[in-house]
Homo-oligomer: A and B are copies of this chain.
Amino acid sequence: MPIRTLVWGENVHEQKNKVVADNYPDGMHNQIAKLLATDSNISVKTTTLQAPEHGCTEAALAETDVLVWWGHAAHGEVKDEVVERVAKHVWQGMGLIVLHSGHFSKIFKRLMGSPCALNWREAGERERLWVINRSHPILAGVGDRIELGHEEMYGEPFLVPEPMETLLVSWFEGGEVFRSGLTWQRGAGRIFYFRPGHETYPTYHDPVVHTVLRNAVHWARNPAPRWRDVAEAPNVPVDKAPEPITAKGASLHRPGEEGYR
């Protein structure tokens, strides 16, 4: 069965800024969807900030294997309850790919537990992404580096938890560096952050970027059934303990009672 992928686009600058609209006439989300759909093992839907519940209803997420998130100008407009719902699905096993300015999205900050801050400069400068592990599935077919002629600069320090894997590190013309491809695990869900993708440059028209994103969808998909009770804290009654025991001392809870949250 193809990997059911949902591309979430903020869809704000495409409507307001002529450069962005010329660059991505159908919207960034549709360009990302198009590049993913060239892989017959990926089936793609899109949604945007403007859709009811931002298109991230319980039903939509329940049939999503991997969510791809691009947002920038309107992070603050994403509703907190939707963020919690997306986080829950990641913990249960949904893959998440966060792109570029999504470093400051509510959902990424929620899952990292850290500021996710960085330095930045919008000067259309040259970026070269060095591949740390060329045999990693996300980097299959990429070679030893990715060259982008024009990109926004993101500079360290990038305030994220030490990753599971450091896959890409960027060199910028203006003198900065950035850890541009990083992975984490949260519950059953795999998370990949990929730095490039500023809306005024043609990054999502680059064929190597296409390869990375398609690879990332494959990597982020967890074929296990959703881990529905991943956030529950069930009581194990004394008579259900794996080893026979007798309760000793005082208790706050009656048998089978729920814990505090």
Contacts and interface: CB of A to CB of B under 8 A. Distances in A.
Interface of A: 13, 17, 19-20, 72-76, 87, 91, 93, 101, 104, 110-115, 117-125, 128, 130-137, 140, 144-145, 150, 153, 155-159, 161-166, 169-177, 179, 184-188, 199-201, 222-224, 227, 230-238, 241-243, 245-253, 259-261
A174 B241 contact: yes
Contact of A251 (B200, B227, B251, B259): B200
Q: Which 9 pairs, one residue from A and one from B, show the smallest C-beta to C-beta distance?
A: A175-B242, A124-B249, A135-B188, A124-B248, A174-B241, A115-B231, A113-B113, A175-B243, A135-B224
A30 B89 CA distance: 40
| Most chain B beta-carbon neighbours within 10 Å: one of A118, A177, A230 | A177
A244 to B, nearest CB: 8
Contact of A242 (B13, B123, B174, B222): B174
